[in-house]
Amino acid sequence: MTGKLIQMGASLIAILALAWIALKLGLGGDTRIRDDDHLRELAEEALCGFDPVDIAIDRAGLAALARDADGRVMLLRRHGAHFASRLLDGHAHVRLDRHFLIVGTSDRRFGEITLDLGDAASAWAASLRRL
């Protein structure tokens, strides 16, 4: 009986230690784009020197669009606990569905992203069609 209690206690300590390590490493969690400054940091991490002048963040914070002074447009989306990005080119697929903007890149592995941009969706759709 005592052996089982010791084994159970050791298992509980091991589980708590693994949870603490995961927390310190920043694993898991619900990562979202918090605000414009956070998006600027993510864009700079994705592409050195990319400085957004026009930004649209999905209402849920799961994806965003950013345009720099050169007219390049970056699409960012959550990928696990991190963010992945692609520069959009003339092969981008853009559809507007009320306040939702559906964007697909020329990279099929990146997938198609639906952004809830509210009233800004139509302006972004028009500008992306001109890429």
Model confidence over 66-123: pLDDT tens digits?
A: 999 999 999 999 988 789 999 998 777 899 999 999 999 888 889 899 999 999 999 9
Name the domain count of the chain.
2
Q: Which residues of 96-124 are buried (b: 16+ CB within 10 A; e: fewer)?
A: beeebbebbbeeeebeebebebeebbeeb
58 and 106 housed in the same domain: yes
80 and 117 housed in the same domain: yes
**Residue type (1 letter), 82:** H
59 and 109 housed in the same domain: yes
41 and 25 housed in the same domain: no
The domain of 48 spans: 36-129
46 and 97 housed in the same domain: yes
What is the pTM assigned to this prediction?
0.77
